[in-house]
A and B are shown apart, each in its own frame.
Chain A
Amino acid sequence: MNFDKELDARGLNCPLPILRAKKSLAELQSGQVLRIIATDPGSVKDFAAFAKQTGNELLASAEKDKEFEFFMKRK
């Protein structure tokens, strides 16, 4: 999937991945996509809830090798 910016949130724990993602999204234009990589297992549900609450669309959420990858489109 194409993306415009990447956030490496590996090794960070709650709530830092969300707070960093919020900051990164603020640097994007509406419609641009942020790719986030995290290792916090709680981030799967947290990013889904964050997307629902803020209106930034979670395009994809996947796990591979204990890492979690998210694609989020700025509202």
Chain B
Amino acid sequence: MGATPEIANIEELVNRRLEELLPQKLEEALRQREESRTPSMAIIATRGTLDWAYPPFILGSTAAALGWDVSIFFTFYGLNLLKKDVSDLKVSPLGNPGMPMKMPFGPDWFKGINWNIPNIIQAGVPGFETVATMLMQQTIKNNGVATIDELRGLALEADVKFIACQMTVDLFGFSHDDFIPGLDYAGAATFLPMAQKADVSLFM
């Protein structure tokens, strides 16, 4: 049964109007949804040295300040960043040619020198790492860069969620008493769904 010419005409007009309106409405709805959504970030922190302690805490605390939901999953050497006392984190210039070796004191010409110390000396001199760590700590202080303890505190205060990998806790013979309170202990099956939903997911 064929439609009368008038109905066919109306249908065509309605269809044309819908085609015009739908993309606009859809775009508007999507935009509103995007604006009202809270962004999220999931980080895996795997390193336990003073230099590598910075990226997860800097990005975590800053994302929280931007209003994001943040979770950091600490595994392997990253567990060191959750210890009650993080003042003993060390940095090693050994085998790290990208690390500038500059003195944080003395006149400017002296501070500008990049000490090119061969690996064999770095490896052979007892206490080299300790000295390098002290120099790094002084440089951090001179530059008004926060301490790890301070950044970690700011991240926790801003509700960044810390998750410790239970498998590595057992593997390295740690106990929950070694770490700051307020941690979740979990595994890969907890992290992955978080990372799946996160807008930003980083491995450090």
Residues of A within 8 A of B (CB): 11-16, 18-19, 22, 39-40, 50, 53-54
- Say whether A12 contacts B144, CB under 8 Å: yes
- Say whether B144 contacts A22, CB under 8 Å: no
Q: Verify if B148 is at the interface (C-beta below 8 Å from A).
A: no
Option from A12, A18, A40 in Cβ contact (under 8 Å) with B62: A18
- With both beta carbons as reference points, the residue of chain B lying nearest to A25 in the complex is identified as B65
Instruction: For the A-B complex with A15-B61, A16-B144, A40-B144 known, give 20 more contacts whose Cβ atoms are closer than 8 Å.
Output: A12-B146, A13-B143, A13-B144, A13-B146, A14-B58, A15-B58, A15-B62, A15-B65, A15-B146, A16-B145, A18-B65, A19-B65, A19-B154, A19-B158, A22-B158, A39-B144, A50-B65, A53-B67, A54-B66, A54-B67
Cα A11 to Cα B146 with chains together (Å): 11
Q: Within 8 Å CB of B158, what residues of A?
A: 19, 22
- With both beta carbons as reference points, the residue of chain A lying nearest to B67 in the complex is identified as A54
**Chain B 126-150 per-residue mask, 1 if CB under 8 angstroms from chain A, else 0:** 0000000000000000011110000
- Say whether B62 contacts A19, CB under 8 Å: yes
Q: Within 8 Å CB of A11, what residues of B?
A: 144
A-B contact pairs, 15 of them (CB 8 A): A11-B144, A12-B146, A14-B58, A14-B145, A15-B58, A15-B61, A15-B62, A16-B146, A19-B61, A19-B62, A19-B154, A39-B144, A53-B66, A54-B66, A54-B67
> What is the number of residues of chain B that contact chain A, defined by CB distance less than 8 Å?
12
Q: Within 8 Å CB of A39, what residues of B?
A: 144
Cα A11 to Cα B102 with chains together (Å): 20
- Nearest Cβ distance between residue B185 and chain A, in whole angstroms? 27
Q: Within 8 Å CB of B58, what residues of A?
A: 14-15
Q: Within 8 Å CB of A16, what residues of B?
A: 144-146
Option from B62, B65, B145 in Cβ contact (under 8 Å) with A13: B145
Q: Within 8 Å CB of A13, what residues of B?
A: 143-146
- With both beta carbons as reference points, the residue of chain A lying nearest to B157 in the complex is identified as A23
Cα A40 to Cα B154 with chains together (Å): 19
4 closest A-B pairs by CB: A22-B65, A15-B62, A11-B144, A13-B144
